[in-house]
């Protein structure tokens, strides 16, 4: 054999090293880049304004944000016809400065409605036809204001109750179930490029809610309603079993042609905090992100607040808390490290 051919044969015979895996990311933004999924958080606007350490962690770690309360109806129109956009604008402006995509939250909900609206419906000074006009004007005014700046809107929030029925609300009572389709059509007219979502809790595991939500969306799609995504809130607690069928539920909705997102993830625990509880919490966060990454249609993983200093959980669940990725002093918890260890399969 000629020397050159022999040398080539020896080179070809040497096994090539296995392709190197990317190093563990240094933060959640880098994890988002490596996995191709947007990783976000809800934003507390008061903390955004007042706390430098809050801003530092928010803008370092996250590539996607949701206004926790600043875009809700009672916040943007506390008095009829008087709009207060300052808080919502602050969230949007900060996001645009720091290359963060934005989820609008939300356009239609049964909670956090302004008193002028609920009182007017209750005392009959706002009739059904006027109520429909008010809803349309609210959706279109807010969606138009942020047109081109919002990646996705939670158009309709929590419309199915825990028993699998359409939720009783002023909207269902006075406008009938057609208000849901109307809301999506109005939002699409106001911002044709935003992804429009139905968002709900416990659809990770509650069969009755899953079936009703699935049928509702299937019917909306059949009517040509512009609905593009399903949001799984993901409010979990370590005292309950992890919803192991969650990825399969995601795939079922994705098969309807929907984008999928985890929109409000947190994992609470009964206090006090222990190392064992933190380890279980970390496992729940890890499994949630891994499940999302196993579904090609899952495009976003958002936590509902990132620091225990400003979590909603203690005020809602007596004796529970410590639900976030960072503690009260912005120190990363085991759950944060668990997310950084997740790789796309």
79 catalytically annotated: no
Task: Report the CATH fold assignment for 31-340.
Answer: TIM Barrel (3.20.20)
Instruction: Locate 279 and state its tokens.
Output: 């380890």
Measured distance CA(105)–CA(187) in Å, rounded = 12
Q: Which structure tokens are listed for 105?
A: 């939250």
pLDDT digits (tens, 9 = 90+) for 260-283: 999 999 999 999 999 999 999 999
- What's the pLDDT score for residue 234? 98
Cα 38 from Cα 32, distance rounded (Å): 6
Angle separating helix axes 178-190 and 128-145, nearest 10 degrees: 30
Which among 158, 204, 259, 300 is annotated as catalytic? 158
Q: What is the reported pLDDT for 345?
A: 72
68, 204, 259, 264: which is the annotated catalytic residue? 264
pLDDT given at position 49: 98
Grouping H, G, I as helix, E, B as strand and the rest as coil, residue 238 is coil
Distance CA 331, CA 335 (A): 11
74: helix, coil or strand?
A: helix
pLDDT tens-digit profile, the chain (345 residues) = 444 443 434 334 444 344 455 689 999 999 999 999 999 999 999 999 999 999 999 999 999 999 999 999 999 999 999 999 999 999 999 999 999 999 999 999 999 999 999 999 999 999 999 999 999 999 999 999 999 999 999 999 999 999 999 999 999 999 999 999 999 999 999 999 999 999 999 999 999 999 999 999 999 999 999 999 999 999 999 999 999 999 999 999 999 999 999 999 999 999 999 999 999 999 999 999 999 999 999 999 999 999 999 999 999 999 999 999 999 999 999 999 999 999 987
Domain ranges for the chain, please list them. 31-340
Catalytic-residue membership of 211: no
pTM tops 0.85, yes or no: yes
């Amino acid at each position: 054999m000629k020397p050159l051919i022999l040398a080539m044969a020896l080179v070809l015979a040497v096994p090539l090293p296995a392709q190197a895996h990317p190093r563990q990311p240094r933060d959640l933004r880098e994890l988002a880049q490596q996995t191709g999924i947007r990783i976000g958080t809800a934003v507390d606007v008061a903390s955004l304004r007042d706390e430098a350490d809050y801003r530092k962690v928010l803008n370092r770690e996250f590539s996607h944000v949701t206004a926790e309360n600043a875009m809700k109806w009672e916040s943007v129109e506390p008095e009829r016809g008087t709009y207060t956009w300052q808080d919502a604008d602050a969230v949007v402006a900060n996001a645009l400065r720091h290359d963060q995509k934005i989820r609008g939250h939300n356009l239609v909900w049964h909670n956090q409605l302004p008193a002028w609206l609920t009182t007017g419906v209750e005392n009959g000074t706002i009739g059904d036809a006027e109520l429909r006009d008010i809803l349309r004007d609210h959706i279109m005014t807010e969606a138009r204001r942020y047109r081109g700046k919002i990646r996705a809107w939670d158009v309709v929030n929590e419309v199915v109750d825990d028993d699998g029925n359409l939720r009783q609300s002023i909207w269902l009572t006075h406008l009938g179930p057609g208000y849901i389709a109307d809301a999506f059509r109005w939002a699409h007219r106001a911002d044709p490029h935003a992804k429009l979502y139905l968002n709900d809790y416990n659809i990770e595991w509650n069969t009755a809610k899953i079936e009703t939500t699935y049928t509702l969306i299937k019917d909306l799609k059949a009517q040509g309603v512009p609905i593009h995504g399903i949001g799984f809130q993901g409010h979990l607690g370590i005292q309950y079993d992890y919803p192991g069928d969650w990825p399969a539920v995601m795939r079922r909705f994705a098969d309807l042609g929907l984008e999928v997102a985890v929109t409000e993830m947190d994992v609470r625990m009964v206090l006090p905090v222990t190392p064992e509880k933190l380890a279980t919490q970390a496992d729940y966060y890890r499994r949630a992100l891994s499940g999302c990454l196993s579904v090609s249609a899952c495009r976003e993983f958002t936590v509902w607040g990132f620091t225990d200093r400003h979590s909603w959980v203690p005020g809602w669940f007596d004796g529970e808390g410590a639900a976030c990725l960072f503690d009260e002093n912005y120190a990363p918890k085991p759950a944060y490290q668990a997310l950084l260890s997740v790789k796309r399969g």
